[in-house]
Chains A and B, each alone.
Chain A
Amino acid sequence: MLPAFSVSQLVHHYGQRCALDHLDLEIERGELFAILGPNGGGKTTLFRLLSTLIPIQQGSIRILGHDVTSHAALVRSRLGVVFQAPSLDRKLTVRENLHYQGPLYGLGGRELRERASQMLGRLGLTDREHDLVETLSGGLRRRVELAKGLLHRPPLLLLDEPSTGLDPGARSDLWNYLRQIRDEDGVTVVLTTHLLEEADKVDRLAILNQGRLVALDTPDNLRATVGGDSIMIDSPDPAVLAGEVAARFDCAAKVVEGRVRLEQPDGHRLVAQLVEAFPGRVQSITLGKPSLEDVFIDRTGHRFWNAEDDGAAAGGAGERNGKKAGRR
């Protein structure tokens, strides 16, 4: 089967700034795929190119085997696109939004009405279909966006930062629905995100940094490449404790945002030893499996957040992990 998306040697510049640097990427059909990266990493540019919103400068994209530039209309008819900025007409009702979307994809008349009703039903919007979009909550609007994007039964769905602005409940609904269309309709779902915890929910992910692909695999495989567990210790005097831990257990213990942090294989054993070795000085201790952020740090040498600001300068691991470990 032809891959859903096949990106080859893609380069994109905004003036002098290079947003994508010779990117190669293949996304299989039926995958729930995330393009993860810090802001400025190039994922939105990639989304715009994949969605045909902006023309390709250099390189090529094939969607279901068709070249995006030479078969634009065909490719566009296969894509459902959900933008980060809402694309709904707020002055229209939910149903009207679908009604005016249909003809853009060759749907009309009874077929369109039935399909719209079906989508509204599946997304739990039937009782709101006559409400103006501007009266809906963010979560409901995102559902209408999905209904609109999926109206013409596209085999591929592209979403740009779909969780932005959603509360946790709506976010969870969204993910359930994305899994559902992947499983039941065989839709290939590709989304961009800057949220590490979201990227953990997908089948495969690509990590982009400064326009380059730094990792491409399943979340588990990626984490496995880092190795070791991370241990965080809360202590009244973290600096002193870090020094003593480093000396006694021969490991690189560092102070990160007021806590002692170290990475060690077989972390669970070390936790017991640490608590015994420093009685009264360990207020709390958490053990975590390596996160995708650890993968990011491992591949790029700097932390995920604000990567575009401190870029090359942030090679030092001292403050690299500002996020809590041990949640998982």
Chain B
Amino acid sequence: MTTVLPQQQQPAVEQAASVGCPAAVIRALCGRELVRFFRQRNRVIGALGQPLVFWILFAAGLGPSFRMPGQQAGVSYGEYFFPGVVVLIILFTAIFATISIIEDRREGFLQSVLVAPIPRWSMVLGKLLGGTLIALVQALVFLALGLFVGLKFTVLSVLAISVFLFILSLALTGLGFIIAWRMDSTQGFHAIMSVFLMPMWLLSGAFFPAGAGWLGWVVRLNPLTYGVAGLRRLLYWASANTLPAELPSAATCWIITGLFAAVTLALSWRVAAYRTTGDLL
């Protein structure tokens, strides 16, 4: 029964599509991420707890033998390590927020989004913004602990830190999304986490200062280095002269972190345009 449709006129009432407005779609998908995250208390504990434990244990364990080179000789390891821990919190939270795309796929939620009359990029942006906001909130909560290691904040520095960390979180959620989109199991993601993401963090100047030789180059080529350095600069907003001279300039940090976010965002958008077999349950 082959059907060749004649040029029938279409009923006028059926011409208008009630498609989702992108802003409303983004808000809805982002809101869902936030509700889901804060409802699963173990995720909150995991994302904040592990870095906190790292911070306390490493500060206690490495503190006595750690000496900053140069002007910052008096800085304790707990203080040196602090921006790195904030970035670790963002990394963990952002990444775990985006691997939920694997759960969305496996649990079937994603299917209903994929057949909705919405542009694909609004789905991507909703997911990424959700992860970004979760990461930002957690990082800011942890930042308050900085008061205990002698950090001083002003309204302006907190604002600047928030903007900077927002961009960094966006970059890292984007990175998580690119990795997670094609995966069909969270186990696979954990492998990537340990061989790629953790080393990326370890080699970002978060854990130890960039030295000379090949390791120094790896640190310099790592975009996350500029996230950690940028945050370090913002934390010592009022006393920038005490920072080591080899730390990248504030402008470099902002530009590279901005580029990092732009690239991961663009790539997320691009990968999401391709359907994967995982769309089909």
**Chain A residues proximal to chain B, CB less than 8 Å:** 2-3, 6-9, 24-26, 48, 51-55, 62, 64-66, 72-79, 81, 83-92, 96, 99-108, 148, 152, 216
Could you tell me how many residues of chain B have their Cβ less than 8 Å away from some Cβ of chain A? 41
CB distance from B141 to the nearest CB of A (A): 22
A89 touches B3 (CB 8 A): no
Q: Which residues on the A side are within 8 Å of B17 (C-beta)?
A: 73-74, 76-78
Q: How many whole Å from A97's CB to the nearest CB in chain B?
A: 9
- Per a CB cutoff under 8 Å, which of A6, A84, A92, A99 touches B5? A6
Closest A residue to B40 by CB, please name it: A91
Q: Does chain A have a CB within 8 A of B279? A: yes
- Given that A65-B5, A108-B24 are known contacts, is A53 also in contact with B279, CB under 8 Å in the complex? yes
Do B18 and A104 have beta carbons less than 8 Å apart?
A: no
Q: Is the interface of B mostly helix, strand, loop or mixed?
A: loop
A26, A53, A66, A90: the one within 8 Å of B280 (CB): A53
A145 nearest in chain B by CB position? B112
B45 close to chain A: CB less than 8 A? no
Bound-state CA distance A176–B114 (Å) is: 29
Evaluate contact between A148 and B112: CB separation under 8 angstroms.
yes
Question: Are A53 and B114 CB-contacts (below 8 A) given A24-B3, A87-B109, A106-B18?
Answer: yes
Residues B27 and A65 in contact, CB atoms below 8 Å apart: no
Q: How far is the CB of A49 from chain B (nearest CB, A)?
A: 11
Contact between chains at A8 and B20 (CB < 8 Å): no
Q: Which residues of A contact B4 (CB under 8 A)?
A: 8
- B15 (CB) vs chain A CBs: closest residue: A74
B118 within 8 A of partner (CB): yes
- Please determine whether A83 and B108 come into contact, CB atoms closer than 8 angstroms: yes
A104-B123 Cα distance, complex, nearest whole Å:
9
Asked if B28 lies at the interface with its beta carbon under 8 angstroms from chain A, I say yes
Q: Is the CB of B115 within 8 A of A51?
A: yes
Q: Does B36 contact A (CB under 8 A)?
A: yes
Please indicate the chain B residues that have their CB under 8 angstroms from the CB of A62 in the complex: 5
A sample of 23 inter-chain contacts (CB < 8 A) reads A2-B10, A2-B11, A7-B3, A9-B2, A24-B3, A74-B117, A76-B116, A78-B17, A84-B281, A85-B107, A85-B281, A87-B112, A88-B109, A89-B109, A91-B36, A91-B39, A92-B35, A100-B31, A104-B28, A104-B112, A104-B116, A105-B18, A106-B117
Asked whether any CB of chain A lies closer than 8 Å to the CB of B102, the reply is no
Residues of A within 8 A of B281 (CB): 83-85
A interface SS class: mixed
**Is B8 an interface position by the 8 A CB rule?**
yes
Q: From B10, which residue of chain A is reached at the shortest CB distance?
A: A65
Check if B210 is an interface residue, CB within 8 A of chain A.
no
In the bound complex, CA of A31 to CA of B3 (Å): 18
Are the CB atoms of B112 and A52 closer together than 8 Å? no
Which of A51, A72, A86 touches B108 (beta carbons < 8 Å)?
A86
Known: A77-B18, A104-B117. 7 other contacts (CB 8 A): A54-B280, A65-B10, A73-B118, A85-B111, A102-B28, A104-B116, A216-B1
A26 to B109, CA, bound (A): 30
User: Among B8, B24, B117, which residue has its beta carbon within 8 angstroms of that of A76?
Assistant: B117
Within 8 A of A (CB), among B139-157: none
Bound-state Cα–Cα, A8 to B31, Å? 41
Residues of A within 8 A of B53 (CB): none
A79: chain B residues at CB < 8 Å are 115
